[in-house]
C-alpha cells in the first residue's frame, strides 16, 4: 500500500483522510475483487498449461 511520509502530513485532517483511504483499501469489497482477479488469472494459467501455448 502507499504510505505517506509523516514529515509531509499537514496535521490531523490529513492523517484522518489517509486512515479513511487505508480502511477503504482494506475493505471486504476490495479483498473480494482482488481474490476474483487472482482466481481468474489462476484459471487462465491452468488452461494454458493444460492445452499448451
pLDDT in tens, 11-52: 678 888 888 888 877 788 888 988 999 999 999 999 989 887
pLDDT at 25: 76
Alpha carbons 47 and 3: distance in angstroms, whole number: 37
Count of domains for the chain: 1
Residue 16 lies in a domain: no
Range of the domain at 37: 28-53
Tell me: pLDDT of 10 over 70. Answer: no
pLDDT at 12: 78
Residue 50 CA: distances (Å) to CA of 36, 37, 38, 40: 21, 20, 18, 15
pLDDT at 41: 96
Residue 5 lies in a domain: no
Global pTM?
0.46
Residue 19 lies in a domain: no
Residue 40 lies in a domain: yes
Residue 33 lies in a domain: yes
The residue with greater pLDDT, 46 or 10, is 46
Residue 13 lies in a domain: no
Residue 11 lies in a domain: no
Residue 36 lies in a domain: yes
Amino acid at each position: 500500500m502507499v504510505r505517506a511520509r509523516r514529515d509531509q502530513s499537514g496535521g490531523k485532517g490529513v492523517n484522518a483522510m489517509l486512515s479513511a483511504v487505508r480502511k477503504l483499501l482494506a475493505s471486504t469489497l476490495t479483498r473480494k475483487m482482488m481474490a476474483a482477479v487472482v482466481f481468474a488469472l489462476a484459471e487462465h494459467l491452468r488452461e494454458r498449461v493444460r492445452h499448451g501455448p
